[in-house]
Amino acid sequence: MSVDFEDCEACINITNDQELYFPDGNLVILTRDEAGNHTYFRVHQSILSKHSQALSDHMFPSSSPNSREIHDGVPLVEFQEDARDLNIFLKFLYEPFAAPLQRGDPDIAFKMFGALKLADKFLIEPLKDTILSYVREDWPQTLQGWDEREALYARRLKNSPKSIMDDVAPEPASVIRLARIFEPQLLIPAFYHLSRLPVNAVYGQPVQGSRSSRGVRTHLLSVEDREKAMVGRERMLRWFTDRLEAASLDTWQCSGGEACHVHIFWRVAVLHRSVIRSVDVLTTLRSMRSHKVERGTSQPVEDVVCPDCNARWDQLLADARRDFFDSLSTFFPNL
């Protein structure tokens, strides 16, 4: 039986995929979008089948009758997936060494989500592992790795004066969506990143015009995701406050008898204020090792602290950063 769409006015757009419609292909895959548009892929059963028996069985099920729908002279099978995702998926199978992945692309979790689901559906583990390996690079599990990635994004932004941070750094909602299904360990760093963003942060729209601000694809987040981020934010701030109180910084004593405690007092005040403003404990603790405080003005002021007290202060912040990172899982339980 042939398929004839010449009189089908409901089909708004009927096209062949520009890259994956081979004249000598022996199978046509049809996919439709919500608007009714049709996209056809003409492919080779042998190439697809060698990657996955599950995919071969889906295209040519043993229970199917001998009489199948025909399009352009070859059997037709329909997929429910989006045409763009199917295009990416098939490119992986046809050209594994020229796959549509670019090292350093910060948006892989969003762009490759559909292809990853197809790889999972048809049990193509090497393709799943390849895509996930790229995503993992942007969400390290160590503090050193986290700092290195943050420094990398800052360099990318500096070297791309026409870009905003969302162009060069990963976005958390797409990673959370992916991680819930395929890579749960990525949820903790992704939720930390989400928790430090303003509630009005929108992907691709810098807050107050700041190139360095980062956004989120809010439509990918559930109400529960937002609530978990808010709870995590509250727990982080409480942890930070408790940590400073436990350090007894208000009774700081200089071993050399200098008036270092006055300057330490100012540092603590600025540290509190900066964390409340940014809700980014890791970045704030790192930046406060510069030994400069604002003291309520717009201009940094170099304080005068002896070398011994500076070393103690730096060690205190370094220990706090390490312990804070190691405690991230306690801020976001039940993910």
Q: What is the pLDDT of residues 139-154, one digit of tens each?
A: 999 999 999 999 999 9
Q: Is the pLDDT of residue 249 over 90?
A: no
Residues 63 and 115 grouped into a single domain: yes
Same domain flag for 254 and 179: no
Q: Which of 76, 101, 81, 82 is nearest to 91 (CA)?
A: 101
Residue 74 domain-assigned?
Answer: yes
Would you place residue 2 in the very low, low, confident or very high pLDDT band (cuts 50, 70, 90)?
Answer: very low
Model-level pTM? 0.86
Domain check: are 254 and 200 in the same one? Answer: no
Please give the sequence-ordered ranges of beta strands (E in DSSP) within the chain, or none if there are none: 14-21, 27-32, 38-43, 70-71, 74-79, 292-293, 301-302
- Same domain for 96 and 169, yes or no, is no
Element (H, E) at 57: helix 53-59
pLDDT band at 64 (very low <50, low <70, confident <90, very high): low
Percent of the chain with pLDDT over 90: 67
User: How high is the pLDDT of residue 199?
Assistant: 86
The reply to whether 125 and 146 lie within a common domain is no
pLDDT at residue 299, rounded to an integer: 56
5: in domain = no
Partners of 301 in the beta sheet?
A: 293
What is the structure's pLDDT at 65? 58
Which domain does 59 fall in, by range?
A: 14-132
> Does residue 22 surpass a pLDDT of 60?
yes
- Asked if 34 and 128 sit in the same domain, the reply is yes
Strand partners, 199: none
- Could you write out the DSSP letters of every residue in 258-312? -SHHHHHHHHHHHHHHHHHHH--HHHHHHHGGG-EE-TTSSS-EE----HHHHHH
**Maximal CA-CA distance, the chain:** 95
Could you tell me how many helices (H) and strands (E) the chain has, helices first? 15, 7
Domain count, the chain: 3
